[in-house]
């Protein structure tokens, strides 16, 4: 059965914790994570895998992942993103967007060393949503650009400290993301209200 936009909205609202939709609890943070890898023999580090994540509150993170299968790389990027967001926004529910169904399946399995995330997944304070990649979802586009840019910077760093370039990349990606969300340019329906922390991050 195909749901209309209004029906999908009602379904999504029904799935949120009651305190949030009633206005009693804090608003959720929406985060999107992605991963990028290369097997190019022309790269200085063959098979480099990197992750990148962004939120609708102006946060972002990226870095290198250990060598592992592609779905595992996506999953590890998700865990890093959720761990960082929960730490930065304690008490706020989280909505995770991801374009990898295998990675989301791995997340739904309880894992060693991530008991806090498992508890939040069970009690509903972390919700997951699959989105189609490269389909106009602003957060997914930004996460994709961030992980790809991070991988390219790390692959071609030639031993130099890449942190300043990575910081510049994150600032550029989050600034452009905030502009898109403020303009309402997002296929997932995520928008920003003037005066929010993400809008202030754009202004700063």
pLDDT computed for residue 191 by the predictor:
58
pLDDT digits (tens, 9 = 90+) for 18-53: 344 445 567 899 999 999 987 665 544 555 789 999
- The tokens describing 192, both together, are 């920003």
pLDDT digits (tens, 9 = 90+) for 98-144: 999 999 999 988 776 788 999 999 999 999 999 988 888 999 999 99
pLDDT computed for residue 134 by the predictor:
84
When mean pLDDT is compared over 74-78, 139-143, 180-184, the highest value belongs to 139-143
Largest CA distance in the chain: 54
- The tokens describing 56, both together, are 């609708």
Kindly indicate the confidence band of residue 186, based on its pLDDT and cuts at 50, 70 and 90: confident
According to CATH, what is the number of the domain 25-203? 3.30.420.10
Please list, in sequence order, all residues whose beta carbon lies within 8 angstroms of the beta carbon of residue 179, skipping any fewer than 6 positions away.
Answer: 202
Give the span between the Cα atoms of 39 and 62, in whole angstroms.
19
In sequence order, the β-bridge partners of residue 50 are: 36, 64
User: Which has the higher per-residue pLDDT, 167 or 2?
Assistant: 167
pTM of the model: 0.77
* Domain parsing of the chain, residue ranges: 25-203
- The tokens describing 195, both together, are 């005066």
pLDDT surpassing 60 at residue 97: yes
pLDDT computed for residue 194 by the predictor:
46
- In this structure, what is the dihedral angle of CA atoms 111, 117, 120, 121, given to the nearest 10 degrees? -50
Give the span between the Cα atoms of 31 and 65, in whole angstroms.
19
pLDDT computed for residue 4 by the predictor:
54
| Contact criterion met (CB below 8 Å) for 32 and 96 | yes
Average pLDDT over residues 154-170: 85
């Amino acid at each position: 059965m195909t749901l209309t936009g209004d029906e999908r909205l009602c379904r999504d609202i029904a799935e949120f914790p009651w305190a949030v939709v009633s206005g009693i609890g804090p608003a959720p943070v929406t985060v999107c994570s992605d991963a990028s890898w290369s097997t190019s023999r022309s790269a200085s580090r063959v098979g480099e895998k990197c992750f990148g994540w962004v939120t609708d509150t102006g946060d972002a993170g990226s870095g290198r992942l250990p060598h592992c299968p592609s779905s595992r790389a996506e999953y590890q990027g998700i865990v890093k993103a959720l761990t960082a967001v929960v730490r930065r926004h304690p008490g706020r529910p989280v909505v995770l967007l991801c374009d990898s169904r295998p990675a989301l399946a791995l997340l739904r399995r309880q894992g060693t060393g991530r008991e806090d995330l498992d508890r939040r997944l069970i009690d509903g304070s972390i919700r997951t949503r699959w989105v189609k990649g490269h389909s106009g979802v602003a957060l997914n586009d930004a996460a994709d650009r961030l992980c790809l840019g991070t991988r390219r910077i790390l692959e071609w760093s030639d031993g130099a400290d890449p942190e300043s370039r990575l910081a510049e990349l994150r600032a550029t990606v989050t600034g452009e993301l905030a502009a898109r969300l403020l303009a309402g340019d997002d296929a997932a329906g995520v928008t920003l209200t003037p005066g929010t922390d993400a809008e202030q991050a754009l202004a700063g």
